[in-house]
A and B are shown apart, each in its own frame.
Chain A
C-alpha cells in the first residue's frame, strides 16, 4: 500500500505566484518522521525539512512553509512568491519508527515556474 501520496503530478505557475504541494501519508506508528526533498534538474535530492510526529507546529523558512496536520495525515508544503529557481521535483517522504532506516517516498510533484 502506498504510504505517501502526492496527488499532484505537475504544477505550473508564473513567477511570484504561491504554490502549495500536497502530501498525504499513511502509517500505524505513533512515532514517525516526515520529510520534504527537492530534486533540481542536476539530480541530487536536497533536504528541505524533517518533522517528527509529535511536533505539529507549522514551520516557516524564508519563502517556504509547511503545514502538518495529524488529523488529516497531511504535511503540505507552500512556496510563497515562487521563483524560476524553484523549478524542480519535490518529494514528500515518511520514516516510521519500526523501520527507521528507510524513507518511503511519494511519487513526487514537478513544479515549473515560468518567468
Chain B
C-alpha cells in the first residue's frame, strides 16, 4: 500500500544534540512538507519542497534544516539552535505542489528533549 512512513515514532534527544527525523513516501508525489504540532495548537509549517533538490522555509523554519535529494525522501533535522524542540512532527506529501489535491500525512514522530 502506498503511503508515508515516518520513523521513529518516538525520539528522545539530549539538549544540544542534533537529531534527524525520517520521512519516506512511495506515492510518487512531487511535493513534501513538514509540520509541527504543539498541544492545544494547530499545525504549523516548517519547511516544504516542491520538487527534488528544492526546498523553502515555512513559517517556523528557525532551528530546522531539510534536504530533498530523492523524490521519496524528505528528512528533517532538528538542530541544537531550535529552542523548544519538544513537539509532534508530521510529514505530508501532495501529488503536485499546492493544497488543491489534498495532503497525505504520515503518522508522525514525537520528539522529546530530555
A interface, CB within 8 angstroms of B? 4, 9, 33, 35, 37, 42-47, 50, 91, 93, 95, 100-108
Contacts and interface: CB of A to CB of B under 8 A. Distances in A.
Interface of B: 9, 31, 33, 40-45, 48, 50, 58-59, 88, 90, 92, 97-100, 102-108, 110
Contact of A101 (B9, B43, B88, B97): B97
B42 A45 contact: no
* Chain B residues touching A, majority SS: loop
Contacts, number: 65
A43 B90 CA distance: 9
> Top 4 A-B pairs ranked by shortest CB distance?
A105-B42, A95-B99, A43-B108, A45-B105
Contacts of B31: 101
